[in-house]
Amino acid sequence: AALASTAVARDTSAEAHLEALAQARPGVGLILGRRAPTAGGRVVRLGRVARRLLRALPGPVVIVPPDLDPATLGDGPVIATTDARDDSLPACRFAVALARALGRSALLVHVVPTPDVWIHEAVMLPPEQVFGRLQAEGEAVLARWAQRHELDALERFVDVGGVVHGVEAIAQARNAPLIVCGSRQLGAIPRFFAGSVASELAASSRLPVAVIPHDYKDRRNAEAAS
């Protein structure tokens, strides 16, 4: 489809200009191209503008891989990722609304990371028993979280292992067109130690990845009240 309009701006900082545009209209998102294609071994996969906007997150930011062929986008569900914390709720509701607008379903995905402490405590247990326990606990946690937030009608999927790999694997298996995730907007020090699942997904996924601010609902409400 043709663009409704185009604009060219001169500014000292592309990311500052885009951030100001998004902040002026809190309900508006940004779509950015990723620097590196899905295949290949490039270390820097997100450009400077994309990295800074994902840190600032002035609104929903969608990162699109440069080698994406729109004709190959799947006809499966929109992937709504959650760590079963409340700061991922705006992302899940965004995914549900987007899926409804696209005539798709939404799949609620929770990947339980494998904590090192579990492995040490359960060193005498068979690995399948350890993973089975984590799987069962993850399913119970996600079911309670979904029910508490009236998302229990959604199909749910729980896996155990690396979060980024797990999300990408289920997205590919279900022929998803898009992955939606939230962001706690970690500071520099927490980001260094814990990393950012949202940024890692945006940097590596073969699908578009939408990153939603944890306070997105509050921003929309403020916009509606103004």
pLDDT in tens, 57-106: 888 999 999 999 999 999 999 999 999 999 899 999 999 999 999 999 99
Computed over every residue of the chain, the mean pLDDT equals 83
pLDDT above 60: residue 127: yes
pLDDT above 70: residue 190: no
pLDDT above 80: residue 187: no
pLDDT above 90: residue 212: yes
pTM: 0.85
Of residues 81 and 193, the one with the higher pLDDT is: 81
As to burial, measured by CB atoms within 10 angstroms (0-12 exposed, 13-18 middle, 19+ buried), residue 2 is exposed
pLDDT above 50: residue 189: no
What one-character-per-residue DSSP string does 69-120 give?
Answer: -GGG--SSPEEEE--SSGGGHHHHHHHHHHHHHHT--EEEEEEE---HHHHH
Tell me the pLDDT tens digit for each residue of 4-58. 667 777 777 888 888 887 777 766 789 999 887 776 655 557 888 888 888 888 8
- Helices 48-56 and 197-204 sit at what angle, rounded to 10 degrees? 150
| 140: Cα separation from own chain's centroid | 22
Complete edge-to-edge strand list for the sheet that includes strand 179-183? 30-33, 61-64, 209-213, 179-183, 78-81, 106-112, 155-160
In contact, 17 and 11? CB cutoff 8 Å: yes
**Three-class SS of residue 49?**
helix
pLDDT computed for residue 54 by the predictor: 86
What one-character-per-residue DSSP string does 54-71 give?
Answer: HHH--S-EEEE-TT--GG
Domains of the chain (ranges; CATH) run 31-225 (3.40.50.12370)
Residue linked to tokens 């028993």: 129
- Helices 163-173 and 197-204 sit at what angle, rounded to 10 degrees? 50
Q: Are strands 155-160 and 61-64 parallel, antiparallel or unpaired?
A: unpaired
Percentages (nearest 5) of helix, strand, coil residues in the chain:
45, 15, 40
Tell me the pLDDT tens digit for each residue of 102-119. 999 999 999 998 866 555
Residue linked to tokens 């798709």: 104
Q: How confident is the model at residue 225 (pLDDT cuts 50, 70, 90)?
A: very low
